[in-house]
Amino acid sequence: MAKKSAPDDRSQRHRSDKALAHRLKRLRADSMNPVMEMSEAETASRTGAVSVDCGWGRLIFAQTFENAADLVSAIREEGPERRDIAFYVRDPHVLLAEAPQEIFLDPSHTFRLDLATYRSGRRQPRGYFVRRLSSEADARAVNRIYAARGMVSVRPDFFWSNRDNRAITYFVAEDEATGEIVGTVTGIDHRRAFADPEQGSSLWCLAVDPQARHPGIGEMLVRRLAEHFKARGAAHMDLSVLHDNDQAIALYEKLGFRRVPVFAVKRKNPINERLYARPLEAYDALNPYARLIVDEARRRGVHVEITDAEGGFFRLSHGGRSVHCRESLSEMTSGVAMSICDDKAVTRRVVEAAGIVVPEQMVAGDDRHALQAFLEKHGRVVVKPARGEQGRGVAVGLETIEDIDRAVATAREVCDRVLVEACFDGEDLRLVVIDFKLVAAAVRRPPRVVGDGRSNIRRLIESQSRRRSAATGGESTIPIDAETERCLAAAGFDLDTVPESGTDIVVRKTANLHTGGSIHDVTGVVHHRLVEAAINAARAIDIPVVGIDFMVHSPTEPDYVFIEANERPGLANHEPQPTAERFLDLLFPLSGHRAATQALGKM
């Protein structure tokens, strides 16, 4: 065997020398070409094996490495909390044999768009436009979308520091009405990264805000990037997509992408664990609120046992300690605290005694004179069941006895005892308090649709509801019921109305996420008086994890009235705030990076 290996080794060295000579010849030719002007970072990558730092990790061009051992060495250099991708792996079986315990074959398909035959679509964006990323505010918004989609975040200054990097292009979609960033995509120009002889390019990190109101944002971002690379003379644009992401695959095939036999390899790390490890039994049946916590627990090495997936129950164990949870409700919340939150009238009395501002309230009964007097005093009222959750049976902004009667009848389907409260004009603010510290603050806004000049309101609601459901794992939909019809009638519409293009219509007054509302992070600007009031309410109830709801004129102003306390607040949808991380810190303070940092004396 030894005698046979010698000529094979010489032959391998000969092929390697030829490949190196070919690359050096190409580099010399490129250096004489004044058109190929490169940044310092790009020039550094030209010396051999190539990788491009994308912020979330490195895109490693496997075809530029001489052998599997060198490529594995590069993959091992992955930074903490990063996700490197080795793309264009020619012989994945050989590469995996080199380090089977450290790397894995990404279960994704590669799709390619032939830019020579690609034709731009006729459809134009409505209600938003696509442009280059241009500020650090854009970068923060992109990170928010990444977090909402479970993607690895990027330092905001990375985007800004790479704005002149000719190999990387960032596009964002901006809502015309609000100015919010609602989508993003990243493109890599392979020729400018390493003078790719195939003149390729690739698409990465396509992400749309799950609360975006406008259809077709993802498609427009893909088209804009394809047009950009076609104008630069690229031959094709590649992308990698998980094999079971049917919705994305359908979009790419619609745009003319076709599958190609190109593979990606990644390093086994906590971020990638769900791609290579055996999934937890019944994991897919968990709702997003339970899944968020389970994912964070597994990332930290906390043992997870799903005890009832449909109900959102799971047991977490670490270091000899075991805690049973239902989403964010754990055994650390007492039965007394739960009882206080369960009955809205009791909650109101408890927090009022602690100095929290509460709205005037009465119980809906048979005394219509008292109800009429209450309505005349306040002008507009809120009707809600004394016990209930997820916005069921709640009606806001009622101005007539007839509307109140109907709302009371609906609320009694949820709970026999119904409350009538003074209506406070403003925005619905949710403050998540964990361990008596504010973790997240967000404004919740009612569901709304935007007219397109063709569809009636019923159809617009159904389309928006499908998008909300897809973005939230079925947790958020817009009901078409008596409350929706009442809100439309108050604005002069009905379900058959065809609104003009661009008309913005609020279809329900309640801002609950389960009935189609949207949530917008305001943690960085919320007034300190509101934070103090929320923490005081949590202490009055003596509850370690709670969502405190206020009505406010603005999250930046101190005025508020207390609405309710939720003993099982949904920790999802508060990106980029670390809600699940703080929850696990509360349950298992000696788990995760925080504990390691403390042990090393770095905190």
pLDDT tens digits along 192-206: 999 999 999 999 999
Q: Where in the sequence of the chain do the CATH 3.40.630.30 domains occur? A: 25-277
Q: Could you tell me the pTM of the whole model? A: 0.74
Give 601's pLDDT tier (boundaries 50, 70, 90). low
H or E element: which one contains 561?
strand 560-566
Classify residue 307 by its DSSP letter.
E
**Res 450: pLDDT:** 86
pLDDT, mean of residues 553-569: 95
Q: For residue range 303-353, what is the model confidence (pLDDT) as tens digits?
A: 999 999 999 999 999 988 999 999 999 999 999 999 999 998 899 999 999
One-letter amino acid for residue 424 of the chain: F
Whether 393 shows a pLDDT value over 80: the answer reads yes
Q: What is the mean pLDDT of residues 565-574?
A: 93
CA torsion 204-208-214-217 (nearest 10°) is 0
CA distance 133 to 62: 28
Cα angle at 161 between 159 and 164, to 5 degrees? 95
Q: Is the pLDDT of residue 28 over 80?
A: no
DSSP annotation of 279 = P
The class of domain 360-423 in CATH terms is alpha beta
Over residues 474-488, the pLDDT tens digits come to 778 899 988 899 889
Read off the pLDDT band of 64 (50, 70, 90): very high
Cα–Cα distance, 145 to 167 (Å, whole number) = 23
> What tens digit of pLDDT does each residue of 205-240 get?
999 998 888 888 999 999 999 999 999 999 999 999
Highest mean pLDDT among 156-165, 512-521, 577-586: 577-586
Residue 292 pLDDT > 80: yes
Q: Would you give the distance in Å from CA 289 to the centre of its chain?
A: 12
Contact 565/546 with Cβ under 8 angstroms? Answer: yes
What pLDDT score does 598 carry?
53
More confident residue, 250 or 26: 250
* pLDDT, average across residues 407-412: 90
For the chain, residues classed under CATH 3.30.1490.20 are: 360-423
Class assignment of domain 25-277?
alpha beta
The residue among 50, 38, 101, 92 whose CA lies nearest residue 68 is: 92
In the sheet that holds 518-521, the strands lie side by side as: 518-521, 437-445, 427-434, 545-552, 560-566
* pLDDT surpassing 70 at residue 43: no
Give the whole-number percent of the chain exceeding pLDDT 70.
90
